[in-house]
């Protein structure tokens, strides 16, 4: 049946309010307006950032909403004026859009875009309205994506068309976790051959940082996690050593300094803890170490550290989505995966149907899963 131009009724996991499990509901998804695209989502990963919203760590967020920002699907229909993407194309929705026109997009250095909803959290399409309703209520979108639903509508600037041969159940991770971690190593830190690296937090994002450090030729990659069950996988994807802060009396930056002749060249915080952001900064070496904030701390939280840490030559950086300009690079990352430049298999620990979404979040919380991919 041709659904073009019609409202689609489908299943979605709705987050009605913080601190509550998702409810699987029948929702209505309006057709795409001009410069919008309606997508049939086929696979969506569960990332810790979705869990932060459920746990109320971003109090500005508007509920009810449909979360999910790491997905892949097939275009169902396109709105007026969309010329480069057509029904049937395989696509990845982008939580950092690329409009190509704003100051950030025109600057070759950064990857933010003023059309992003990160920080603003309107929970709406760029025209200020929503395409979702459920039981007569408006349901908000989430950072230009919303993928825990069989169908979603996104703005054209927040979609990348990818290779027809891409396996959607894997490349969904290129929508967030993999690209965020990998790019933090290769673009943001610019890890160099023979360098030493420390990666704090060995979830899907941290493991992807390790993959990036390995591809960049780092000679020592030290994984740090309070859950030692994460070490086997970290070593499988490229960590040379793994340490658990609970096994050491000394602060972790001292342990790392002893292992690396005074500190690492690059450290990465992939947890979202302000305390660990300071530990990671202290772990890089006096002279010219670089620390990258990848984890998302609760909004409005503050980090404090002695400025001497920077005066003595260290650099503190941070980026969303691994610094990639999304529409330019997501298709290339998919092609690189298809050419076996890196392998995402190790990141996917579980697959579940959409109905079992609450089980997926529970496993993430208990530290039992890396990435759970929901399949539709
Ligand atoms: P996940 O929860 O899977 O991994 C975090 C890991 O950190 C787990 O293995 C924990 O055991 C470990 N951990 C927790 N506390 C500590 C501690 N005190 N010391 C050492 N290890 C600890 O999360 P994820 O990999 O999905 O995401 C990681 C972070 O990245 C998270 O904050 C998420 O919100 C953020 C992120 C950032 C971006 C971006 O664009 N920058 C995009 N998506 C997610
Ligand atoms: Zn994410
Ligand atoms: Zn832009």
- Grouping H, G, I as helix, E, B as strand and the rest as coil, residue 301 is coil
CB atoms within 10 A of CB 304: 6
- % of the chain surpassing 70 pLDDT: 100
* Region 121-143 average pLDDT: 97
pLDDT at 366 over 90: yes
- Give residue ranges with CB within 6 A of ligand 1: 47-49, 52, 176-177, 180, 200-206, 224-227, 230, 245, 270-273, 276, 294-296, 320-321, 364, 367
For 211, the enclosing helix (H) or strand (E) is helix 204-215
Task: Give the span between the Cα atoms of 94 and 271, in whole angstroms.
Answer: 22
- Residue 217 token pair: 């030729």
Q: For 161-192, how does the pLDDT look when each residue is reduced to its tens digit (9 = 90+)?
A: 999 999 999 999 999 999 999 999 999 999 99
Task: Give the span between the Cα atoms of 177 and 181, in whole angstroms.
Answer: 6
Task: Give the span between the Cα atoms of 161 and 148, in whole angstroms.
Answer: 20
Spatial contact of 74 and 90, defined as CB atoms under 8 Å apart: yes
Task: Report pLDDT for 112.
Answer: 97
| C-alpha closest to that of 142 among 66, 78, 86 | 66
Which sequence positions are flagged as catalytic? 47, 49, 52, 69, 176
Ligand showing the shortest atom-to-Cα distance for residue 364: 1
Which atom of ligand 1 has the smallest separation from the CA of 48? 26
Q: What is the mean pLDDT of the chain?
A: 97
pLDDT at 66 over 90: yes
Q: Please tell me the pTM assigned to this model.
A: 0.98
Q: For 237-274, how does the pLDDT look when each residue is reduced to its tens digit (9 = 90+)?
A: 999 999 999 999 999 999 999 999 999 999 999 999 99
pLDDT at 7 over 90: yes
- % of the chain surpassing 90 pLDDT: 99
Q: How far from chain centre, in Å, is Cα 296? A: 10
Q: How far is the CA of 259 from the centre of ligand 3 (A)?
A: 42
The pLDDT confidence band at residue 1, using thresholds 50, 70 and 90, is confident
Task: Give the span between the Cα atoms of 66 and 57, in whole angstroms.
Answer: 16
First to last CA, the chain: 19
């Amino acid at each position: 049946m041709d659904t073009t131009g019609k409202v689609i009724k489908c299943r979605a996991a709705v987050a009605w309010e913080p601190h509550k499990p998702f409810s699987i509901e029948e929702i209505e998804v309006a057709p795409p307006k001009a410069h919008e695209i309606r997508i049939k989502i086929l696979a969506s990963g569960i990332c810790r950032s979705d869990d932060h919203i459920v746990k109320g760590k971003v109090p500005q967020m508007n509920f009810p909403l449909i979360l999910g920002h790491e997905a892949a699907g097939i275009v169902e229909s396109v709105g007026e004026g969309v010329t480069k993407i057509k029904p049937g194309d395989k696509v990845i929705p982008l939580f950092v859009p690329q409009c190509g026109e704003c100051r950030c997009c025109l600057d070759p250095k950064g990857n933010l875009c003023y059309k992003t909803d990160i920080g603003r959290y309107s929970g709406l399409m760029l025209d200020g309205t929503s395409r979702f309703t459920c039981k007569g209520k408006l349901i908000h979108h989430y950072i230009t994506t919303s993928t825990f639903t069989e169908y979603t509508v996104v703005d054209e600037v927040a979609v990348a068309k990818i290779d027809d041969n891409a396996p959607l159940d894997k490349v969904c991770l290129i929508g967030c976790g993999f690209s965020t971690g990998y790019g933090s190593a290769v673009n943001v830190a610019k890890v160099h051959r023979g360098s030493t690296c420390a990666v704090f937090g060995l979830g899907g994002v941290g493991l992807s940082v390790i993959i990036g450090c390995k591809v960049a030729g780092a000679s020592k990659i030290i994984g740090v996690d309070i859950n030692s069950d994460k070490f086997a996988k970290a070593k499988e994807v490229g960590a040379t050593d793994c340490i658990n802060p609970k096994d050491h009396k000394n602060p972790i930056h001292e342990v790392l300094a002893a292992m690396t002749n005074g500190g690492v060249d690059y450290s990465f915080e992939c947890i979202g803890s302000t305390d660990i952001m300071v530990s990671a900064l202290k772990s890089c070496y006096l002279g010219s170490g670089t620390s990258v904030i990848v984890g998302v701390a609760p909004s409005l939280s503050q980090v404090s550290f002695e400025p001497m840490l920077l005066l003595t030559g260290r650099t503190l950086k941070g980026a969303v989505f691994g610094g990639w300009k999304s529409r330019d690079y997501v298709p290339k990352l998919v092609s690189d995966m298809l050419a076996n430049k890196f392998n995402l298999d190790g990141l996917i620990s579980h697959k579940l149907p959409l109905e079992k979404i609450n089980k997926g979040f529970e496993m993430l919380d208990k530290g039992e899963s890396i990435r759970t991919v929901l399949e539709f």
